[in-house]
Structure formats: C-alpha cells, structure tokens
Amino acid sequence: MPDSPERDFGPQPLDGLLAELGLGNHDLVAASTQQLTHKQIQKARRGRYVTLNIQRKILAALQAVAPQDGEGGPRVFKVEDLFNYRP
C-alpha cells in the first residue's frame, strides 16, 4: 500500500534535535519506562503519523536522557518542540 500524503509530514524537528544531542533511537528506547519501540521512534523521526500517546512517550524518554542545559538544570521540551503537526 503506498504511503498516504496526509500521513507523511516529512522530517520532524525531533530528528534534528536527536542528531544535535548525539542521541539515537536506542537511547530513547533504553531510557523509556513505557513501551516504546525503535520502529515507533523511526516513524516519528521520518514524519510518519504517530499518535499523541506515542508522541508523549517519546517526549518522556527524551526528557530522561537529554543532557543538562548550560546552567546545570534539566532541559525541558514540549511536544511542539519535537513535532510540527498535531494528531
């Protein structure tokens, strides 16, 4: 079945952010306390549609693994920082 253009949003900010932080899909899967798979993260990075629930799981894993900001505090992200579409 061909990919539907309505469900393909192109590379997401999540992809660039993970590259900037030097993190890979496995880092998020390992840091997640919820069921999160490599496939879900890869879909999200490429811009395929993922539900808000999966977006929140990815956000929680990123918060857990992201390096601290320059002031020694945790970096805080929002779903809107990672995805340029809303389910």
Q: Please say whether the beta carbons of 7 and 71 come within 8 A.
A: no
Query: pLDDT for 27-86, tens place per residue?
Result: 999 999 999 999 999 999 999 999 999 999 999 999 999 988 777 777 899 999 999 998
Q: Are 34 and 54 in contact (CB under 8 A)?
A: no
Instruction: Look at 41 and 1; give whichever has higher pLDDT.
Output: 41
The band of 3, judged by pLDDT with boundaries at 50, 70 and 90, is: low
Whether the per-residue pLDDT at 2 is higher than 60: the answer is no
The answer to whether the pTM exceeds 0.95 is: no
d(CA 80, CA 30): 23
List the domain boundaries for the chain: 5-82
Residue 1 carries which side chain, given as an amino acid letter? M
